[in-house]
């Protein structure tokens, strides 16, 4: 898992430097295995990031 985390952070940083996310205001993590990496993604991309379960709870008023 550490290798995946390291690669994920590298990709996020590379994409941010390449300005790939200029028109994106936030990210929703659809994969239920990804929330554990949310803080890393937020730190690397500097974008609000939610997991799909949190979005669903919000939409359902839970």
User: For 1-41, how does the pLDDT look when each residue is reduced to its tens digit (9 = 90+)?
Assistant: 799 999 999 999 999 888 887 888 999 999 989 999 999 99
What does the chain look like in DSSP terms, one character per residue? -HHHHHHHHHHHHHHHHTTTTTT---EEE-STT-GGGHHHHHHHH-S-EEEHHHHHHHHHT-
Q: Residue range 36-54: average pLDDT?
A: 93
pLDDT at residue 59 tops 80: yes
């Amino acid at each position: 898992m550490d290798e995946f985390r390291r690669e994920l952070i590298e990709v996020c940083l590379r994409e941010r430097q390449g300005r790939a996310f200029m028109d994106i205001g936030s990210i929703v993590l659809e994969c239920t295995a990804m929330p554990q990496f949310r803080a890393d993604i937020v730190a690397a991309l500097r974008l609000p990031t939610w997991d799909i379960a949190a979005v669903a709870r919000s939409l359902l008023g839970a």
